[in-house]
Each structure stands twice: as C-alpha cells, then as structure tokens.
A and B are shown apart, each in its own frame.
Chain A
C-alpha cells in the first residue's frame, strides 16, 4: 500500500492491513505489479502530484475499501475520475499543490541523523530534488536526537529528520517543553531489524531471552516501542525481565562486539554493519512485527509551517518527490551510491546497497531477498500516531487521559493536501486513518483505551 498507488484502479487496496498488499502469492509478483503501477501513475511529475492529490480525495470519499471497489467496478475508472472531478476540482488542487506562491526563504537548513531512514531527506540534495523547487538546502549531519530536537527548537534548522514519535512527544511536552510540532511526511516505512550477537545464534526463541541486555536508539522511538511489543508478545516483560537502554547506534555495534549487550533493535545501517563486520546476525526485520510501520519522519515546527507556507510547500514537495523516487526498487542502487559519501551517511556503499535493495547477507551464511526490507511512503496516517501514543501510555511515558485524536490531528498533517484544500475553500478529507495489524492484532485507532487495556504486559495502571 502506497501513497503513490493509482486510486482509480479497482483492484488496488488503499486501506490495507498486514502485508504490503496481501493479494499475491509471492513478494516478487507483488513487486512486479507495483512497479508497473508506479510507472503508470507517476509518469511525469504532474502525474505524480495528481496521484497524491487523487489518493487523498479517494480515501476521503471512500473510507471503506469495499465501497470504493464496488463503485469503481460498476462505473469504471474513467467515469469515476470524471465524477470526482465534477464536485472536486482535482485539476485545481493539483495545480495549487504543484505551483505554490513565491518562496519566503530559499536558503534552508535541514538536519539529519546519519541512518538510512533519512534517505529521502539526504538524497534530495545530491540528486537535485531541492534545487528543482528553487531551494538551496543544506543537509546537516547532527549528533543525536536530543541535539536535533534542540537545534530545530532553536531555529538553527528550518526542518529536520526526526523519529515519528518525537513530534508527538514534543507537542505533548514529554521529555522537553511543549511546543506545537508537525509531521507532514513519514520518511520511511519498515527498515529496522533486531540484531543479536553471534553467540546467540542458537537462541532464536524470544522466550529464552530473560536477562538479555538490549539497546534502542532513543526512548521516544518506534524502535523502543516495537522491541517492547515484540518481547511482551512473547511473554517477556521489557521492564522486568530484560534491560533496555538508549544507546547511540554506532556504539551499539561496538558494544555488541565487546559483548556488553546481547542485541538491539536499531535503524540501519547498524544492523547490516554488524553483519558486515561479523559481530552479529539479523534475527528478524521489523516488517515481520508490523508490515509497513512508520519509522522516521520529516518534521517542522508549526511556526515554520504557518509563517513560511510557500517555502514549506516547496520543501515538502521536494521531499515527497524524493520519497516517490526512493520508493521505486530500480532506483535503489543509484541512491545507495549517492548517499554513501562522507558528506552524507559515510558508510561503505555495499552496506547501503544491501539495505536499500533488500538483497542482503543475514550474518548466518544466507543471502536473503526482501525487496521491501525498507520502503518509502510519506502519508502520515493519524492512526499511526494514535498507536504510538497507546504505546507511550502502555510503557508509562505519558500518564492520565490522552486526547489521542486531537493530538494526532494536530501533529500528523495527513498530507498537506488538507491545508491546500482549505485554502481553495473546500472541506478537507475526514478520513486520515487506516487500520493495520501488529503481530496479528489489528488496530484501527477508533478505540485506543480498549486496545491498551487488552495487553497483559504493561506498565500503565
């Protein structure tokens, strides 16, 4: 499921849960069809914007996939397009989205952390996506999540790469002062893994992991929540039975080598790097925990969004376009070459290539092929935000009553289309959530408290 899919194809599912699509026998077949669809939808950038805008509209009109399919099957895509255009000026919305006004500021600074999750933000620089929109963006490597937070709050950066729970935490004032923050785009989906030290290669069952020491990159991260979720589903209480520490990613590999930790759930390139250096193996990819989970995000302060709407629009467009480019499997090798130099990720190109193409050594002697090991899809589903908040509450990071829905709406700007539609005097789409399942348990965001109560292992009372 991708924002770049063709919403007028009755066979596509825009609201899927589980696997990236779930209709194919093999992943290869799925990839092939997706590639051809991508080609059809995204020929030329006008088409691509049309795709983004149309996806949002179709999602708004048909929150239920079944009814959209029935509609499309009965009238056909062309008629549907005409019908939708009649009461919603797709052409205008696309133009507004694509054109924008004069830029308030052209020299921008965008901070990033050197991990593959930042791929679209980084590659937009060497591959010219920023300059295409008249922006002179400097992408600046930053020393850690707390520093990136402080530098964006200080306005040294205009926008930044963040972990998708961070804008929520900042807005709610968890771990920092409350400052209204926005997350207009998800950077990557999937793309993390659990890596274990070589000595545990015969202890693959999580039930045997009592007493393990794990590392995650930051407390407010998908890594933390996914690792805790995975352990708890296997009956391990992450607060009692194991130790989970926040450790900067490069130190994870060094600590794994030094035998100080047993494993970690971390962003790449650190998982593949541990394999490359022969100190660990990849236990599972996080896509096996939650297929299509968001990880990192493109975030900006609410102030930047409101005071410089055109600059922000141009920046967001270049990011969305870079994300669309990164989404295509055939571009991944070229991207790996573009982001490997010291100015960007500073990693051996072969390591990045394994991560981005999904053909990788697992550390146990096998060459694995998982084309969507990491994928790129910018749509910030608000149900993602709600899920993240349930986990924040589950592990005691936030307490008391949480206004899940309003915070999600405030922070996860579900496509900027909504704002552009408002400017055109229209009502933005209502539906910005979708259901998904995490380790077989489905979640749709409508009843977070009930979902939270259903877990046996949790900290919150």
Chain B
C-alpha cells in the first residue's frame, strides 16, 4: 500500500513538473518577426526586439545553460568569473565558518541560560532586542568596523545563526524533566557530569532543531550578503548575471540555491533523528 502510494505520488509529481515545463515553454516562445527592420538595423538588435522572443527564457534555454554549467563547474577565468561549483563552494565555506562559530558560542551560552534562572533573566533583555534585527542590517556596521568584506559576510552569518540555537538550547535545557534531574541529584552526580550525561542527551533534539532552523536562515542570508559585498559566492553570481540581465543564469542560480539549502537541511534532519529517542 505505501509502495503504491509513493509510486502514485511520484507520477503526480512528474505530471505536475511536465505541465509546468510545457506551460513555461508555451508562454515564452517567440512569435516570429515583430516589426519591419532593415537588416543592418536588425543585426544590432537582440532576439527580443527582432524575433518577439519573450524576455523570460524558456525551459530549454535554461536546460542547455545548466548543462554547460554542470560540464565545467570548476573553471576559473579570473576574479570575476568562476564556475558555479567554485561559487557554491565559497558560499558553503562562509556559511560553515560563521555557523560553527555560532554553534561554539550559542550552545554553551544556551546551557548557561537554561540551567541558571538568574542568567536567564539577566540576559533576556539583550536577546529580545538583538534577536529581531535583520542580519543584513548588520552589514554596513560590520563592513565599517571589521573592514573586510569576506569577514563581514561571516560575521553576518554568525549573528543570524546564534539566536535560534541559543533560544532552543536554553529552552531544551530548561525543560528537561524535573524527575531526571532529581534522580541525578539523589545519586550525587556533579554539575558538569549532570550537564553531559543527563541534560545534554535530553535536550539534544531541541538543540538540533535550533541548529536546523539556523542553517536555513544562514543559507538564506549568505545569498543576500554576497549580493551586497560582491567578490565570490553564489550571491555574487546572481548579482553578476543580473548586471548582464541574463535571466537564464539567475534561474539556474535560484535552482542551485534551493538544492543546496535542501541538502543542508536534510543533513541536520538526519542528525536530529539520530539523537532523538523514544520515551
């Protein structure tokens, strides 16, 4: 039964995809010559003006271009023209550095806040004010003080990844069942050991949920940050192709951003499943 459901779902997905592609193709194909032009003049004009081709590229244009990118993902023609693979690599590396820094800060701090009601109350106002700030709002300030665009991008990733992890860790730690803590106390387990053997395993699923939210946000933000500072990365790629008004490449970049985002999320989802235990 489940097998046939999966099969049927796959068929419906494929049909939807096919329908989408067909509609896209029909909507964007050219309508033939649109205006009378001298050949000399027509030679100076683009396909939109001469063939009536839509300014939106069709699915086959995108497919052909995508194949070109996939064939040579790692070419390097100088500082402003690198393969899609290299661009994605830069973005992922930046996200990872900022994200791991955030993990290193948010989880210990979250533990502290979760375990100590005093710190919880004391730090709360700061967290409440800092949390809702859009990561990109930090960008000018970061550029101005750090004076390095690549580090600024990493800082922005850091600052946007910290909050969900911090809050989730604190929440997870604070809501560990009182019985378990009491059992540990009865057995005279020390604070550090209690944190690692009782609280951490119990709070792990919540912490990982926070980490999963964070990586999603970090991946959203890196594209915008790279568009702003330029240089390298998938965000820069989108900006560069937008300058060229090459919508084909913009669509390809959007597709790639979606795929990588999904992969990052899946990796963390798998971790979450590994540490979750049935009660």
Contacts and interface: CB of A to CB of B under 8 A. Distances in A.
A442 interface: no
A342 B77 contact: yes
B227 interface: yes
A147 interface: yes
Contact of B44 (A151, A344, A361): A361
Nearest to A347: B244
Contacts, number: 103
Given A250-B245, A278-B49, A347-B244, A140 B41 contact: no
B239 interface: yes
Given A139-B80, A343-B79, A367-B41, 11 more contacts: A114-B240, A143-B227, A154-B143, A155-B147, A253-B245, A276-B46, A276-B48, A341-B81, A342-B81, A344-B80, A365-B38
Contacts of A142: 230
A278 B148 contact: no
Interface in B4-47: 34, 37-38, 40-41, 43-46
B144 interface: yes
A290 interface: no
Contact of B49 (A140, A151, A276, A367): A276
B149 A156 contact: yes
B242 A250 contact: yes
Contact of A346 (B40, B228, B241): B241
Contacts of A139: 79-80
B79 A114 contact: no
A118 B55 CA distance: 27
A114 B230 CA distance: 12
B132 interface: no
B41 A365 contact: yes
Interface string A317-357: 00000000000000000000000011110111010001000
B235 to A, nearest CB: 9
Interface in A363-388: 365-367
B128 interface: no
A141 B240 contact: yes
A257 B231 CA distance: 28
A143 B81 contact: no
B55 A346 contact: no
Contacts of B103: none
B245 A273 contact: yes
25 contacts: A114-B240, A114-B243, A114-B244, A138-B78, A139-B79, A140-B80, A140-B231, A141-B79, A141-B240, A143-B230, A147-B230, A150-B143, A154-B143, A154-B149, A156-B149, A249-B243, A275-B45, A278-B34, A278-B45, A341-B77, A344-B80, A346-B241, A346-B244, A366-B41, A367-B44
* Closest CB pairs A-B (n = 6): A278-B49, A343-B81, A143-B230, A361-B44, A342-B81, A346-B244
A365 B228 CA distance: 38
A304 to B, nearest CB: 15
A275 B245 CA distance: 13
Given A156-B148, A342-B80, A367-B41, A143 B46 contact: no
Contacts of B245: 250, 253-254, 273, 277
